[in-house]
């Protein structure tokens, strides 16, 4: 997506969902803060899921929202007896969407968001670093 299309879309999303970030002086700062906020909310969501044993069976990038929510739960389930490799998705033989992998898959998806926003001038990989910061928080449940 070109910057001329992406920039107004990003600014709209920022104003609509994260107006407190609009006052940051540079777009690079706004992009990094936006990704960090999405990452923080996503980490909180996944940590909450894991406390009750919920497993999202198709945690693809198109099933995550910039609000820190997810959609299209498709196959989902709850771990009845603790099994970190449990996946409710019968087509997930590799375990990509297993209970254990939920934080890592979420972090991978957040890095894809940061990459998509790179044309907006994310200097020095600030957005990517913000996305990566979610991984340890979600994995430890301290989001």
What is the C-alpha radius of gyration for the chain, rounded to an integer number of angstroms? 16
Q: Which two tokens stand for residue 99?
A: 């209970």
| Residue 62 annotated in active site | yes
Distances (CA, A) of 119 to 12, 76, 108, 114, 127: 16, 34, 19, 10, 11
Which member of 62, 72, 80, 92 is catalytic? 62
CB neighbours of residue 86 within 10 Å: 18
DSSP class per residue in 73-119 = --SEEE-SS--TT--S-TT-TT-TTSTTTHHHHHHHHHHHHHHHTGG
CA 31 – CA 138 distance, rounded (Å): 21
Active site residues: 62
């Amino acid at each position: 997506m070109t910057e001329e299309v992406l920039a107004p879309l990003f600014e709209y999303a920022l104003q609509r969902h994260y107006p407190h970030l609009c006052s940051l002086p540079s777009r690079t700062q706004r992009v990094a803060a936006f990704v960090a906020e999405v990452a923080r909310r996503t980490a909180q969501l996944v940590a909450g899921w894991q406390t009750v044993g919920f497993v999202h069976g198709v945690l693809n990038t198109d099933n995550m929202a910039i609000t820190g929510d997810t959609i299209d739960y498709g196959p989902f389930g709850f771990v009845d007896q603790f099994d970190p490799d449990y996946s409710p998705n019968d087509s997930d033989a590799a375990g990509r969407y297993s209970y254990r992998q939920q934080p890592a898959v979420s972090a991978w998806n957040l890095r894809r968001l940061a990459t998509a926003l790179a044309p907006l001038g994310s200097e020095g990989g600030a957005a990517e670093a913000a996305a990566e910061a979610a991984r340890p928080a979600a994995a430890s449940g301290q989001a």
